[in-house]
């Protein structure tokens, strides 16, 4: 029946013949300091009027907004939704709202998003696959906002909590597996080489070769972008240029999926002729046909974990292990041959 947008604590107070303080106590479920009977009366008119406390006002009064910011490169990239869900699920449980922003891998946009969140006085920020350089990030720390990083490491001063997959080990596992299977000309297909993760995986690829005492052929190293279409294109190039290769590993499932589809289309049999191993284990990889063998990290859980840690930081609780790195697992599905356990 209300004709107003929303009532204020003062109006409620007036209607109940109590002070604003009392109403405040009631809406905050403050057990102390308000009589059973008064509380009931206040509660009732709050109910009737559909009163909703103003979180903004509360925010300026307490300097805690009840919101946290999440910035990702692109919500609509297959990789990020699961991450976001991990964060929102965790924060939901804590009573926090989540503001989201896309950077499109552009440091300038990332900075804008971050700053806009500062303006909103978010209580914490989760930065996923950030592209900012350490100079900016260290500048940014001046705002003293609790900061969680997922998918990227820096010196620990640049974030309060973080988690990251061990890209080097992940890529090594992939390469080692293929090498042990007898492969000697393994294509390595990666996305943007400027991203730290790319460089680390590349390092893993090289290390595995080195350890096995077999040479790396530079012409087998491909760079493009993190997309299925790019994978398709890479596969076409490999075939067209009659490149000599006996296996493929990638820095991203999307690339691997594109490669698999394109190779299959060209009559290459997978895994009989060529084995392919992706990286990331996005949901898509499990549901496509053939299911992709890949390097797996528990994204959802990782994101949840950092969000949970970030919450502790916000609360001022101690966080014993703020910076975790988790070792990815090789998941063998249908794009690699079945073989006995070593």
Q: Does residue 319 interact with its own copies by CB under 8 A?
A: no
Q: Which of 206, 223, 176, 214 is nearest to 328 (CA)?
A: 176
Separation between Cα atoms, residue 176 and residue 169, nearest integer Å? 10
Separation between Cα atoms, residue 196 and residue 205, nearest integer Å? 14
Q: Which of 180, 232, 171, 239 is nearest to 207 (CA)?
A: 171
Touching its own copies, residues 60-89 (CB under 8 A): 60, 65-67, 74-78, 80-82, 84-85, 88-89
Separation between Cα atoms, residue 155 and residue 153, nearest integer Å? 7
**CB 42 to DNA: min, Å:** 9
Among 14, 21, 40, 55, binds its own copies (CB under 8 A): 55
Separation between Cα atoms, residue 296 and residue 282, nearest integer Å? 8
CB atoms within 10 A of CB 59: 16
* Cβ-count burial 188-204 (b if 16+ within 10 Å, e if not): bbbbeeebbbbebbbeb
| Residues engaged in binding DNA (CB under 7 A) | 7-10, 17-22, 24-25, 27-28, 32-35, 37-39, 53-54, 57-58, 60-63
Among 9, 46, 98, 163, binds its own copies (CB under 8 A): 98
CB distance 331 to 288 below 8 Å = no
Pairing of strands 275-277, 323-326: unpaired
**CB 5 to its own copies: min, Å:** 5
**CB 274 to DNA: min, Å:** 59
**CB 184 to its own copies: min, Å:** 29
Cβ closest to its own copies, residue 167 vs residue 262: 262
Pairing of strands 294-296, 329-331: antiparallel
Binding-site partner at residue 68 among DNA, its own copies, none, CB < 5 to 8 Å by type: none
Binding-site partner at residue 8 among its own copies, DNA, none, CB < 5 to 8 Å by type: DNA
Q: Which two tokens stand for residue 291?
A: 């299911």
In angstroms, how far apart are the furthest CA atoms of the chain? Answer: 86
**CB 98 to its own copies: min, Å:** 6
**CB 72 to its own copies: min, Å:** 10
Binding-site partner at residue 34 among DNA, its own copies, none, CB < 5 to 8 Å by type: DNA
Q: Which of 10, 312, 3, 335 is nearest to 161 (CA)?
A: 312
Name the one residue in this structure whose structure tokens are 């890209």: 167
**CB 65 to DNA: min, Å:** 12
Binding-site partner at residue 218 among DNA, its own copies, none, CB < 5 to 8 Å by type: none
- Residue count at the site for its own copies (CB under 8 A)? 57
Stretch that binds its own copies, among 52-60, 128-136, 179-187, 317-325 (CB under 8 A): 52-60
CB distance 166 to 172 below 8 Å = no
Catalog residues that contact its own copies under the rule CB under 8 A: 2, 5-6, 50, 52-57, 59-60, 65-67, 74-78, 80-82, 84-85, 88-89, 92, 97-102, 115-121, 142-145, 228-229, 257-258, 261, 264-265, 283-284, 287-289
């Amino acid at each position: 029946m209300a004709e107003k947008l929303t009532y204020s604590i003062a109006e409620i107070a007036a209607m109940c013949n109590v002070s604003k303080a009392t109403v405040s106590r009631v809406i905050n479920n403050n057990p102390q300091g308000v009589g059973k009977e008064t509380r009931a009366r206040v509660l009732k008119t709050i109910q009737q009027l559909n009163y909703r406390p103003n979180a903004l006002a509360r925010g300026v009064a307490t300097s805690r907004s009840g919101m946290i910011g999440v910035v990702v490169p692109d919500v609509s990239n297959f990789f990020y939704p699961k991450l976001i869900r991990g964060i929102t699920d965790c924060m939901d449980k804590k009573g926090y709202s989540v503001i989201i922003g896309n950077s499109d891998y552009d440091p300038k946009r990332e900075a804008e998003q971050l700053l806009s969140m500062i303006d909103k006085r978010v209580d914490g920020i989760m930065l996923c696959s950030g592209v900012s350089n350490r100079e900016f990030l260290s500048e940014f720390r001046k705002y003293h906002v609790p900061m969680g990083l997922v998918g990227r490491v820096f010196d620990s001063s640049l974030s309060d909590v973080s988690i990251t997959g061990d890209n080097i080990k992940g890529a090594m596992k992939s390469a080692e597996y293929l090498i042990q299977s007898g492969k000697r000309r393994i294509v390595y297909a990666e996305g943007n080489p400027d991203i730290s993760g790319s460089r680390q995986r590349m390092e893993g690829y090289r290390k595995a070769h080195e350890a096995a005492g077999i040479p790396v052929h530079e012409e087998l190293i491909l760079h493009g972008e993190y997309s299925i279409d790019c994978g398709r294109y890479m596969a076409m190039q490999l075939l067209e240029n009659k490149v000599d290769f006996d296996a493929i590993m990638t820095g991203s499932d999307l690339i691997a999926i594109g490669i698999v589809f394109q190779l299959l289309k060209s009559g290459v049999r997978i895994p009989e002729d060529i084995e392919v191993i992706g990286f990331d284990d996005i949901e898509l990889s499990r549901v496509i046909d053939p299911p992709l063998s890949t390097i797996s990290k528990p994204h959802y859980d990782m994101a949840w974990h950092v969000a949970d840690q970030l919450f502790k930081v916000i609360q001022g609780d101690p966080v014993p292990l703020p910076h975790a790195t988790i070792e990815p697992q090789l998941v063998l599905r249908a794009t690699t041959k079945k073989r006995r356990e070593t």
